[in-house]
């Protein structure tokens, strides 16, 4: 009895192992092929769900059904006009035929290596067939001039093929070469482009020279405006001083005329008033010209002596 239970247990375990090894579950992100001794058997499995295989003889190879990433290396590439640039690109691809993919490439690592050869090679060919302007530009839009100092900026040459068209050319050529590999390149884009160090230094020097030229132009215009303002200031100052001097002379003239009128009216008065006026004016003159340390000698016929003599009487 006990031996029977042991046999049942062993048979049950074997059945479980056989069932487990004869079925596999495929989720919605995967696709698979079944191989026997390394060779594909049957059609690829692409629909999610439960699938069956021969235990121990069949082996399941899973492949991703989602979009996969390809990131290229940064390479130095010459353009048609002999300009050396660094090009960094990326792409997205998918496995469209898992059976063909397995036969030709086996796994994703081999696929990535093959895509490196294809996409890098087509990138070099495309860039070497076009000028630098076509590689970095997409349209024929000319730079917008917003300032006067930008009027002499060189107008860019027209292009017949732009950056987007070159990307499409690389994508088309790459898909032609991957058609028998069971993969399809969905999109290809340039991530970054830049000059090599030697050319970049020359471009920077040219940019610095251009900015210095614009700065010199601004400084020259500023100095011209400064001289213009200084000239206007000196002209206005001379005009103000001239008008002030003229007005001062007019005031002095009117004052002298009034003083002359006063003198004349004083002389036209009575003799005593005239004598008093003369006396006062004489006293004022002596007051301004003499001090306490000054001694004077007067003759008897001087006018000042006569005034003093009259006062003594």
> Please, which pLDDT band fits residue 115 given cuts at 50, 70 and 90?
very high
CA dist 138 and 186 (Å) reads 21
How many residues make up the chain in this entry? Answer: 313
pLDDT at 14: 59
Backbone angles phi, psi at 211, to 5 degrees: -65, -35
Rounded (to 5) percent helix, strand, coil in the chain: 55, 20, 25
What 3-state class would DSSP assign to 27?
coil
> Please, which pLDDT band fits residue 26 given cuts at 50, 70 and 90?
confident
Tally of CB atoms within 10 A around 114: 16
> Please, which pLDDT band fits residue 270 given cuts at 50, 70 and 90?
low
Alpha-carbon distance values, 4 to 12, 17, 80, 197 (Å): 12, 20, 84, 83
Highest mean pLDDT, choosing among 141-150, 248-257, 266-275, 284-293: 248-257
Tally of CB atoms within 10 A around 47: 9
For residues 264-274, give the mean pLDDT.
61
Which residue, 126, 124, 96, 131, is CA-closest to 111? 96
CA dist 193 and 84 (Å) reads 10
Token pair of 250, please?
């007019």
pLDDT at 167: 94
CA dist 292 and 286 (Å) reads 11
Rounded to 5°, angle at Cα 73 from 69 and 77: 130
What is the average pLDDT value for the chain, to the nearest integer?
Answer: 80
Position 110 pLDDT exceeds 80: yes
Residues 32 and 59 sit within 8 Å (Cβ to Cβ): no
For residues 175-200, give the mean pLDDT.
88
CA dist 106 and 111 (Å) reads 8
> Please, which pLDDT band fits residue 190 given cuts at 50, 70 and 90?
very high
> Please, which pLDDT band fits residue 243 given cuts at 50, 70 and 90?
confident
Structural domains of the chain, with CATH: 2-63 (no CATH), 68-141+156-195 (3.30.479.30), 271-313 (no CATH)
CA dist 258 and 115 (Å) reads 112
Of residues 180 and 55, which shows the higher confidence score?
180
Position 125 pLDDT exceeds 90: yes
Write down the pTM of the prediction: 0.59
**Whole-angstrom distance between the N-terminal and C-terminal Cα of the chain?**
185
Least confidently predicted of 80-94, 113-127, 147-161: 147-161
pLDDT at 276: 67
Highest mean pLDDT, choosing among 14-28, 78-92, 197-211: 78-92
Q: Which residue has the tokens 């030229």?
A: 213
For residues 103-132, give the mean pLDDT.
92
Rounded to 5°, angle at Cα 107 from 106 and 108: 145
Q: What is the pLDDT of residues 57-79, one digit of tens each?
A: 888 888 999 999 999 888 888 88
Q: What is the pLDDT of residues 277-289, one digit of tens each?
A: 667 777 777 666 6
Position 112 pLDDT exceeds 80: yes
Token pair of 179, please?
């058609």
pLDDT at 168: 93
CA dist 172 and 187 (Å) reads 10
Provide the angle, in degrees to the nearest 10, between the axes of the packed helices 163-178 and 108-128: 140
pLDDT at 117: 93
């Amino acid at each position: 009895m006990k031996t029977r239970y042991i046999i049942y247990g062993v048979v049950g375990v074997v059945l479980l192992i056989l069932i487990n090894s004869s079925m596999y579950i495929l989720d919605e992100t995967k696709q698979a092929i079944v191989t026997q001794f390394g060779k594909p058997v049957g059609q690829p499995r692409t629909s999610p769900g439960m699938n069956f295989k021969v235990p121990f003889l069949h082996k399941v190879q899973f492949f991703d059904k989602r979009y996969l990433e390809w990131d290229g290396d940064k390479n130095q590439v010459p353009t048609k006009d002999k300009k050396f640039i660094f090009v960094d690109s990326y792409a997205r691809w998918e496995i469209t035929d898992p059976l063909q993919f397995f036969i030709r490439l086996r796994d994703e690592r081999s696929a990535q290596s093959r895509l490196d050869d294809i996409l890098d090679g087509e990138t070099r060919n495309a860039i070497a067939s076009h000028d630098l302007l076509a590689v970095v530009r997409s349209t024929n839009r000319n730079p917008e001039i917003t300032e006067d100092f930008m009027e002499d900026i060189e107008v860019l040459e027209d292009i017949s093929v732009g950056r987007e068209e070159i990307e499409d050319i690389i994508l088309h050529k790459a898909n032609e070469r991957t058609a028998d590999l069971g993969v399809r390149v969905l999109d290809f884009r340039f991530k970054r482009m830049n000059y090599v160090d030697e050319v970049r230094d020359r471009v920077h020097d040219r940019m610095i020279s251009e900015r210095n030229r614009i700065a010199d132009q601004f400084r020259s215009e500023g100095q011209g405006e400064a001289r213009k303002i200084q000239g206007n200031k000196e002209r206005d100052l001379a005009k103000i001083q001239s008008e002030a001097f003229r007005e001062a002379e007019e005031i002095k003239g009117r004052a002298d005329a009034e003083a002359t009128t006063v003198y004349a009216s004083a002389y036209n008065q009575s003799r005593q008033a005239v004598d008093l006026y003369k006396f006062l004016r004489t006293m004022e003159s002596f007051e301004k010209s003499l001090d306490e340390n000054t001694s004077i000698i007067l003759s008897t016929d001087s006018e000042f002596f006569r005034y003093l003599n009259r006062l003594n009487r």
